[in-house]
Amino acid sequence: MGTISGGSIMERRASERRLVEVSVYLSDTGNQIGRCMASDISNTGVYLKTNPLYLPRNRRLDLTFALRLKSSNVVRLRRLSAVVSHTREDGVGLKFCTRNTSRSGARP
C-alpha cells in the first residue's frame, strides 16, 4: 500500500530497501522447497523472485542466503527465518523473524 505524493506513489517502509541479486534457498522444517533470487532486501524483510510457487501467507520458512565474496570464489552462507507476508505472480515478500535473545540470568 502506498500514498500518493506529488503525482507519484510513495511507499511507507520501516527501513530502506536495497536492490540485490543473491541466491536464496528455501526450506521448511528441513525439507528444501526451492531456490530463488532475492531482488531487494531491508533490515526487516526480503522480496524473492520465484517461478510459480505457492506459499501461503504467514507460513514460516528457513532462508539460506548464498553470499559470494567479491574478490574470491568463497561463498558465505547466512541463515534466517522469515514469514510470508504477501505473494505476487513474480515472487513473494517475506518478513524476517526476530530472535528472542532473552534468557533467564542473562545480563542486559
DSSP state letters, 64-75: EEEEE-TTSS-E
**Residue 80 to residue 71: CA distance in whole angstroms:** 25
Q: Can you give the pTM of this predicted structure?
A: 0.74
**75 touches 64 (CB < 8 A):** no
- CATH architecture group of domain 14-96: Beta Barrel (2.40)
**Residue 101 to residue 69: CA distance in whole angstroms:** 29
Per-residue model confidence as pLDDT tens for the chain (108 residues): 333 334 434 455 567 889 999 999 999 988 999 999 999 999 999 999 988 788 899 999 999 999 988 888 899 999 999 999 999 989 999 999 986 544 444 433
**DSSP 3-state percent helix, strand, coil across the chain (nearest 5):** 0, 60, 40
